[in-house]
Amino acid sequence: MSGQDEHATESTHLSEERSQSVKLDPRRAVELLGVTLVGILGALMIGFVALDWLRHYPSLGTLPTTAFEQFLIAGMWADYVLGTNVFQHPFMWRSIATGVLVGIVGPLVGTYLVHRQMALIGETLAHTAFAGVAIGLLVIGLTGFGGSLMFVALLVSVVGALAVQWLTERTSTFGDVPIAIMLTGSFAVGTLLISWGRGHVPVTIDIEDFLFGSMAVVTADGARMMAILSVAVVAIVAVTYKQLLFITFDEQAARVAQLNVSGYNTLLVVMTAVVVVGAMQVLGVILVAGMLVIPVAAASQVARSFRETLYLSILIGQISVLGGFAFAIGSSLPSGGSIIVVAIAFYLVAVAASLLAGRSAAISMH
């Protein structure tokens, strides 16, 4: 009995030490600080998008308009100090806001996708969204429908997501064949529709911007949609973090534990579609999967736990977006490629770090 007591005391000491070491761990503190800063940045960007929206409603008074103008005046000062011609323009802020939000929700959803070995589903859904853009252009051109192009793209992408989910459930795994069929198929439809549409409706949008990403392509509608969807995605992941983790880690055991695996899979795929449509605006169809995959791959090299993977992915994603924007603005190059190149630089650093730590052999990313 006394032996047991001794053991119990010892284990209490151990757990106390452990909890203290968790509290005092500087690495964890830095990560939490970083994630908090990213959160604040995200909230600011959502605030900007909200002002941009509310200023069109005069019934709300002059406050939104005034605040919005003050924001742009601050941007002018920033331009003056930095010698740039960026921050005084609302359209640049819309792009930056969309990019910042993509830098949060992309890696957030991507963490689950990568570890479910579904990395390419993001690419597929981007191509579906491209078909959605084509359909949207036609619908708007032919019917004069006044809705947002990105909203049509979102709808088509979500339908595509459900179709991929339906196909993969019937081929028993997330095999890559249905994904490849969906990817090429929807892109084929998109190119056909756009070519056909050119002869019938005036196409005012540069398709290249959608393929390769551009800071000029983000509309007020697009930014607003991204803000709303980002809040929704973060909220959903916060609520279903545990279930998504369990399913990602051990799907069969999660099934046995009576989790609605099929439901959560559908949720994850639909969230992916949502993120992809947002990300497509700044990254372009072809590069969009990078934001879902590369920050997560980098984080997984060095992270010590799943939660840390999630935090580091978001941090790396966010720094990639901001760094990519800075590079794109500085050198007048497309934002999509810049962001992905910065992210890949992080990935290479992470690989080097984990090689130095001598544990890369234990990690094999798909």
Partner 1 sequence: MRNEFEPGAFTHGSVQEPTCPKRTIRSGRTKHTHLRERGEFTVSSIVDVQNVTFSYGEKLALDDVSLTVDEGDFLGLIGPNGSGKTTLLHIMLGLIGPDRGSVELFGQPVEQFDQGERIGYVSQKATSRGGTMPVTVRECVRMGRFAHVGHSRLSDEDRQIAEDALETVDIADLADQRINQLSGGQRQRAYIARAIASEADLLALDEPTVGVDAESRDAFYRLLDSLNESGITIILIEHDIGVVTDRANRIACINTELYHHGDTESFVESEALSEAYGATGTVVHHHH
The residues binding partner 1 (CB under 8 A) are: 11, 14-15, 18, 115, 239-240, 242-243, 245-246, 248-250, 252-253, 255-259, 300, 303-309, 359, 362-366
Residue 242 identity? K
| Closer of 105 and 259 to partner 1 (Cβ) | 259
Residue ranges with strand state E in 238-328? none
| Closer of 215 and 247 to partner 1 (Cβ) | 247
| Closer of 51 and 259 to partner 1 (Cβ) | 259
| Closer of 221 and 251 to partner 1 (Cβ) | 251
Instruction: Give min distance, CB of 64 to partner 1, in A.
Output: 35
Residue 165 identity? Q
Q: How far apart are CA 118 and CA 105, in angstroms?
A: 16
Inter-CA distances, 288 with 39, 98, 130, 223, 314, Å: 22, 13, 11, 16, 16
Instruction: Give min distance, CB of 315 to partner 1, in A.
Output: 15
Instruction: Give min distance, CB of 22 to partner 1, in A.
Output: 9
Which tokens belong to 36? Answer: 């908090």
- Is residue 34 within 8 A of residue 295, CB to CB? The reply is no
* Closest to 108 (Cα-Cα) out of 42, 177, 207: 42
| Closer of 142 and 256 to partner 1 (Cβ) | 256
Which tokens belong to 28? Answer: 């964890």
Instruction: Give min distance, CB of 17 to partner 1, in A.
Output: 12
Residues 6+ apart with CB under 8 A from 295: 106, 107, 110, 312, 313, 314, 316, 317, 320, 343, 346
Instruction: Give min distance, CB of 123 to partner 1, in A.
Output: 20
* Closest to 236 (Cα-Cα) out of 276, 271, 279: 271
| Closer of 277 and 297 to partner 1 (Cβ) | 297
Instruction: Give min distance, CB of 350 to partner 1, in A.
Output: 12
